[in-house]
Structure 1
Amino acid sequence: MALDQSPEEIAQHEKELDQFKMAQYSLTGKVAVITGGNTGLGQGYAVAMAEAGADIFIPTYGKDEWDNTRRLIEKRGRKVEFMDVNLTEPGITDKVVAEAIEKMGHIDILVNNAGMIRRNPLLESKDKDWDQVIAINLTAVYHMSLSASKAFAKQKHGKIINIGSMLSFQGGKFIPSYTASKHGVAGLTKAFASEMGAYNVQVNAIAPGYIKTAN
C-alpha cells in the first residue's frame, strides 16, 4: 500500500483484500457441525463460518439463543439446523452425525466447541464436578471426533477443529478438571491427526485466551 494513497484508495484496497481473503478461505458448499454453537465462542464460530459460505448444524444442550443464532446465520444467506442433545449420553454422537447428514446432506467440518468449567480450590474439589467436566470437555470430544471420522473416512475428506485453551499448556488454579480436560484435548488432537491424515482428514486445535463469555 503506497504512503500517498487517498482515503478512498485505501478503502478500496482494504475491500479488495477482504474479497481476496474470502475467496481464499471460502467454505461455500461446505457443512460445519459446531457443538455448542448457539452461544459464546461457539456462536462466533458459527457466524464466521456462515459468513465464509458454510451451512451450519448445531448440537446444543438446551435451546438458549436458537432464535438469535438462526437469525445471525440466515442473515448471511446460509442454512442452519439445531439438535437439542446431551453429548455425554452413551452412543449419542453417532446419532448426531447421522442426523446432521440426514438434514444437511453431508458434513465436511466438525468443531468440538461444547464445554463447561467448574471452579473450586483444589482441596475443595468435588468428584461430581470432575466427572461432568471430563465428560463434556474430553470424552464427548473423543466420541464426536470418532463418529465424524467414520463419515470423513468414507468420503476421503474432512476437517476436525478442537477447541483447546491456554490451559492445554499451563496449570490453572481452582480448575483441575478443566485443565486436565484441555490437556487431553491437545493429546486427542495429535492422536487423531496421526491416523486420520491417511484419509485426507485434517485435525487441528486452537487455544483461545481469556475471552468474556458465560464461562
Structure 2
Amino acid sequence: MSTSFSLEGKIALVTGACYGIGFAIASGFAKAGATIVFNDIKQESVDKGLLAYQEAGIKAYGYVCDVTKEEQVTEMVAKIEKEVGVIDILVNNAGIIKRIPMCEMSAEEFRQVVDVDLNAPFIVAKAVIPGMIKKGNGKIINICSMMSELGRETVSAYAAAKGGLKMLTKNIASEYGEFNIQCNGLGPGYIATPQTAPLREVSADGKRHPFDQFILAKTPAARWGEAEDLVGPAVFLASEASNFVNGHILYVDGGILAYIGKQPE
C-alpha cells in the first residue's frame, strides 16, 4: 500500500509555493519522495522560499516567473526540464483574492483576479501537458475553493475564477485522460494561515472575532483547518493511488459544504 502513495522519483512543480498552503503541500510531496520545484514572481520571494525549504531539510529548485505570462511560463518549464527533469506533477497553487463589493470593483481588478486564479492555471497546465504525454502519465492538481461551489459577499471575481477553475479541471480530465493524465481539484476550506491570523485573534475580554465565530459555527469540525490537513489529500491526488480518479474536486473543508448550519435559538 505504501508504494501506491509514494512519489519517489517524481518531479513536482508547485506554483507560488514559497509559504502557506503551497509550501505545506510541497513539503509533504518531498517527504513522499518527490523533487520540488516552485516559482514566484519576485526573486526576493524565491530566495525566502529556498531558505525555508533548506531549513526544513528539503532540496528545492526555485524560479522567478509570472504565471500569467505565457512566454515566461514556457521558458520556465523548458528550464525545469533541462535542469531538473520533465514535470510529473503540477499543482496550480498560485492565487490572489480581492475582497471588494462587486459594484465597487473595477473591471481591471476583476480581470486581475481571473488572470491569476484561472488564466494562469490554464497557461501552466498547457505548458506541462506535452511532457506528460511523452512520459505516458501525469498529475495535475488545481487548488480550487469552496467558492468553486458557493458565493459570498465581496468575492465575485474570486468565486467566478474558482468556479471556472473547477470546470477547467473537468475539461483537462476529459481532454487528456486518454494519455494517462489525471487532473483533479483540491478545495480547501477556511485554513489557519498567517493571512487569516487577525480573524482568529481572541480579544482581551476573551471574545472571538465575529468572523471566527461565524466559521466555527458553520464548520461541523468546529475548527479552522491547518495547512497540514491538505497534505494527505494532495499526496493522494499526486500518487498512483488516484490513477482512476479524474475530474474530481476533493473538498477539504471540515464539512462546511455538507452543512446547512445551526438553527438560530
- 2:152 alignment counterpart: 172
- 1:69 alignment counterpart: 52
SS at match of 2:192: coil
CA contact (8 A) 1:33 1:100 kept: no
How many Å apart are 1:44 and its aligned residue?
Answer: 0.5
- 1:54 alignment counterpart: 34
> CA separation in 1, counterparts of 2:7 and 2:33?
5
TM-score when scaled to structure 2? 0.69
CA contact (8 A) 2:146 2:188 kept: yes
CA contact (8 A) 1:47 1:72 kept: no
Instruction: For CA contacts below 8 A with separation 6 or more, give which structure has more relative contact order.
Output: 2
Equivalent runs, 1:28-177 vs 2, <5 Å: 28-62=8-42, 63-64=44-45, 65-72=48-55, 75-76=57-58, 79-177=59-157
- Counterpart of 1:66, as a letter, is G
How many Å apart are 1:125 and its aligned residue?
Answer: 1.0
CA contact (8 A) 2:91 2:140 kept: yes
How many Å apart are 1:155 and its aligned residue?
Answer: 1.5
> CA separation in 2, counterparts of 1:185 and 1:67?
28
Aligned-pair identity (%) = 35
How many Å apart are 1:159 and its aligned residue?
Answer: 0.5
- Counterpart of 2:97, as a letter, is I
How many Å apart are 1:61 and its aligned residue?
Answer: 1.6
How many residue pairs align between the two structures?
Answer: 192
TM-score when scaled to structure 1? 0.84
- 2:243 alignment counterpart: none
Unaligned runs of 5+ in 2: 197-265
Return 63-72 or 118-127, whichever deviates more: 63-72
> CA separation in 2, counterparts of 1:191 and 1:212?
31
How many Å apart are 1:100 and its aligned residue?
Answer: 1.4
Return 82-91 or 47-56, whichever deviates more: 82-91
CA contact (8 A) 1:168 1:185 kept: yes
How many Å apart are 1:154 and its aligned residue?
Answer: 1.5
How many Å apart are 1:182 and its aligned residue?
Answer: 0.2
SS at match of 1:38: coil
> CA separation in 2, counterparts of 1:191 and 1:72?
38
CA contact (8 A) 1:122 1:174 kept: yes
> CA separation in 2, counterparts of 1:72 and 1:189?
34
Task: Report the RMSD for the aligned CA atoms in angstroms.
Answer: 1.5
Q: Which runs of 4+ in 1 moved over 6 A?
A: none
> CA separation in 1, counterparts of 2:52 and 2:135?
29
Query: C-alpha offsets along residues 5-62 of structure 1, whole Å, 9 cap, x if unaligned?
Result: xxxxxxxxxxxxxxx65x4311110000000011110000110000101001101122
Are 1:195 and 2:175 matched, yes or no?
A: yes
Structure 1 pair 105/88, CA: closer, same or farther in 2 (3 Å)? same
- 2:238 alignment counterpart: none
How many Å apart are 1:211 and its aligned residue?
Answer: 0.9
CA contact (8 A) 1:122 1:176 kept: yes
> CA separation in 2, counterparts of 1:38 and 1:86?
14
CA contact (8 A) 2:70 2:123 kept: no
SS at match of 1:190: helix
